[in-house]
Amino acid sequence: MTNDAPVSQAKSAPRLGPKARANKRRLVKRAGLPPVICPDVLVERDLPVPMRDGTILLADHWYPSTGATGPAILVRTPYGQEGNAGVATMFAERGRHILIQRCRGTFGSQGEFTPFDEADDGADTLAWLRAQNWYPGSVHTWGFSYLGVTQWAVCAPGISPNAMQIALSARDVAGTIICQGGGFSISNTLVWVISLAAQERSKAVRWWTVLNLPRRLARAALTLPPIEADVAATGHPVSYYRDWVTHSQAGDPWWNARRHASNPADVPPVVLLAGWQDLFLRGQVEDYSALAQAGRPVRLIVGDWSHSTGNADAWSAFEMFRPPAETGQPLAGPPVRIEVTGGAGWRDLDHWPPPAAALKLNLTTQLTLTASGTETSETSYIYDPLHPTPQAGGRALNPFDSGRRGQGRRERRRDVVVFTGQRLTEDLTVAGEAEFVALFESTNPTPDFAVRLCQVNARGVSRTVADGYIHLPPPDPAEEGRLRRVVVPIGPLAHRFVAGQRIRLQVSSGAHPLHLRNPGAGAPPTDPGRLAPSTVRLLFGGDEGCQLVLPQVDLDQLALADDGPR
């Protein structure tokens, strides 16, 4: 599978435009990268890389004209060449060979793009790369989001790269962002469908698509039946979206072939870069836990960013130039590094989560949160799928409605019950998994809970800290007619509430369109039938009633990080 390109095909890397140069300078400065080894970068465009079925995938090879050192870097992407030059030259100037390949069926590569089906193409690409005369003897993989999926896909005996850096991505894409919490994320899926449909169109069309994304998404997300929302979003059916809707039920075996790296022993040393407001967060934390428990070399870094904003790019560049791990040896740097939001800075941990004490706050009829006992009482709200509860930020792919948004729009609604604590007299730091424990009954046998932990400042402005969601199955027949109890995960999180602020919990049964609206009559959200309002009754009182449980930690016990981007 050797395909050595003659040197005569190589050309000097194109000069970056003013905006790309400025972005590169800012990134290099923020990341504190090592000095340039070779400013003269060469590039070979459109190298044909053959796959086992005869399909040809195209790749660009960037490298320094002299002084190459360190492992090669492999990037496999469905998003094309645009915007890659700055990153590629940044690595090449510092001695690295970097191969950026376009996934099957995208931007000139032959075949049909089928999301998450990347194992064979990734393995063939690694074999081809290792056979090149310029191959330096080891290869690291790198990339964000879907580029992380392509890395997980090549974790297999005799195939795995020497190391990986995976940012804002997870092994189980279905459970993390598509069928999360037992429901179906129509926003995350449609935003991606719309973006992919436009990405190879003209720049004007792409800009128009971005500007019209909120309107198009709002219309498509209300389409009935939901399997036809692809037509409302793009004007035509999208086969893979319809597959996702069809196989959205929890535990559907259709997803098994699209989950990668199930055996931790196949995973090479890996750095996982996650974001507190990113949709992949829970999946990445679960990946870290599974690999750490299996004794694999793994590091977890979590910063205060969403999928499309923040300082993740600088941290990613910084981490790529740490000393590479050898097989069986620990990765350079602390096992876990987290940014404690609320202004507490970066902290280093031996493991995640850190030791914590459970702070239990009871919900009351007065819509307060209190650590003291309460009398038995209740409150209720009506969820109406014809007027679904809005999303208002959180861990979502939609750049127009994600992250730490103000919560006034949600908290003014009658279908959102808001519980607020007293002003804190001293700082409170929480790190780990926050939970909402619900004792309830509902006229809908399969209700949703969409809960949100918020911080309320001295002016009364409420903003998201973390959010959680669960779609419940029908009750056990033996428990029919009895009160139900469920734990709704809200974390992971690491946040400092400072003195003078208040803690707030929102409880509702919707966060549309991040989570496809519950039809309200017991039918699956993806096959709703009749839409009907439903009532949820929450029960309070003592240790058995509804509670917010926070993992309280001593901030002074979390060591301050001594390096990294600033």
Report the relative pairing of strands 98-102 and 163-167 from DSSP bridges: unpaired
Looking at residue 376, its pLDDT comes to 85
| CB-count exposure of residue 158 (10 Å: 0-12, 13-18, 19+) | exposed
Q: Which amino acid is at 72?
A: A
| Whether this model's pTM surpasses 0.85 | yes
The answer to whether the bond into 71 is cis (omega within 30° of 0) is no
Looking at residue 503, its pLDDT comes to 98
Residue partners of 9: CB distance under 8 A and separation at least 6? 44
Q: Are 91 and 161 in contact (CB under 8 A)?
A: no
Say what the alpha-carbon torsion angle 225, 227, 230, 233 is, to the nearest 10 degrees: 30
For residues 490 and 470, what is the distance between their CA atoms, to the nearest angstrom?
Answer: 10
Say what the alpha-carbon torsion angle 74, 80, 82, 87 is, to the nearest 10 degrees: -10
Tens digit of each residue's pLDDT (9 = 90 or more) over 385-397? 999 999 999 999 9
Residue 460, sorted as left (phi over 0), alpha (psi -120 to 50) or beta, turns out to be left
Query: How does DSSP classify residue 63?
Result: E
CB atoms within 10 A of CB 69: 12
Below-70 pLDDT ranges, the chain: 1-8, 323-330, 566
CB atoms within 10 A of CB 366: 12
Query: How does DSSP classify residue 294?
Result: T
Looking at residue 196, its pLDDT comes to 96
Q: Are 64 and 129 in contact (CB under 8 A)?
A: no
Looking at residue 204, its pLDDT comes to 95
Tens digit of each residue's pLDDT (9 = 90 or more) over 445-503? 999 999 999 999 999 999 999 999 999 999 988 777 789 999 999 989 999 999 999 99
Looking at residue 223, its pLDDT comes to 97
Residue linked to tokens 């094309």: 80
Looking at residue 4, its pLDDT comes to 40
Return the beta strands (E) in 118-261 as ranges.
139-144, 163-167
Domains of the chain from N-terminus onward: 1-161 (3.40.50.1820), 168-173+264-352 (3.40.50.1820), 185-247 (no CATH), 357-523+530-553 (2.60.120.260)
Looking at residue 13, its pLDDT comes to 82
Tens digit of each residue's pLDDT (9 = 90 or more) over 106-120? 999 999 999 999 999
Cα distance between the two ends of the chain? 44
Say what the alpha-carbon torsion angle 173, 174, 175, 180 is, to the nearest 10 degrees: 110
Looking at residue 7, its pLDDT comes to 42
